[in-house]
Amino acid sequence: MRDAEFLIEAMTGQLRELLARRGVAEPALVGIHTGGVWVAERLHERLGVAAPLGRLDISFYRDDFSRIGVNPQVRPSELPFDVDGRHLVLIDDVLYTGRTVRAALNELFDYGRPASVLLAALVDRGGRELPIEANVVGAHLTLSSDQHIQLTGPDPLQLIIQTAKP
């Protein structure tokens, strides 16, 4: 079990620097349900972002509907700002295959045409199946496919790594 707060601290510094370098003064943050929203809430507060926090539930955009159906715990997506021309930061807890991010990007573009999208992840565990990389990462971990990593929260935020029993 690992405390996630210090990783978020590291992400805050990286993200602040990256936004400054790109000249983005008023970004909008978008967290992906559920873990990504918890991370996004903390980054939103630490960076003092003016735009209200966006929340995406990508359940209806998943590429495996034909295998798993609708997630009964689906929540509404809320983007309480105009996406057109906005610089967005998409935030998730664990970056793995890249499929969640693919789904989230598709959903974002159904709201409008952002000026740019950055990706921030608390943990990059490798294992990508799509050409997607994060701009900001709290920690890089090398995990095998039978290992499972999960963020629990919202308070405290902790990372739990489990190995599946054969």
Partner 1 sequence: MSATPIQLDAQGRLLHFLTIEGLTHRHLTDILDTAESLRGVAERRVKKLPTLHGKTIVNLFFEASTRTRTTFELAAKRLSADVLNLNIATSSAVKGESLLDTLRNIEAMQCDMFVMRHSQSGAAEFMARHVKPHIAVLNAGDGRHAHPTQAMLDVFTIRRHKPDFPNLRIAIVGDILHSRVARSLIHALSILGAGEIRVIAPRTLLPTRVEDLGVQVFYCLPEGLRDVDVVVMLRLQRERMEGALLPSEQEFFQQYGLTKERLALAKPDAIVMHPGPINRGVEIDSRVADGPHSVILEQVTNGIAVRMAIMSITLGHHAQASGEDA
Contact set for partner 1, span 65-94 (CB under 8 A): 65-70, 72, 74-78
Stretch that binds partner 1, among 2-10, 21-29, 64-72, 150-158 (CB under 8 A): 64-72
Stretch that binds partner 1, among 16-24, 46-54, 62-70, 141-149 (CB under 8 A): 62-70
- Sheet containing 147-152: give its strands across: 2-3, 158-163, 147-152
Q: Give the one residue of 60, 133, 144, 162 binding partner 1; rule: CB under 8 A.
A: 60
In DSSP terms, 149 is beta-bridged to 161
Nearer to partner 1, 20 or 70 (CB): 70
First to last CA, the chain: 21
CA 112 – CA 80 distance, rounded (Å): 12
In DSSP terms, 120 is beta-bridged to 91, 136
Q: If we measure between CA atoms, which residue out of 12, 82, 78, 22 comes closest to residue 46? A: 12
Contact set for partner 1, span 102-121 (CB under 8 A): 106, 109-112
Q: Which residues bind partner 1 (CB under 8 A)?
A: 57, 59-61, 65-70, 72, 74-78, 106, 109-112
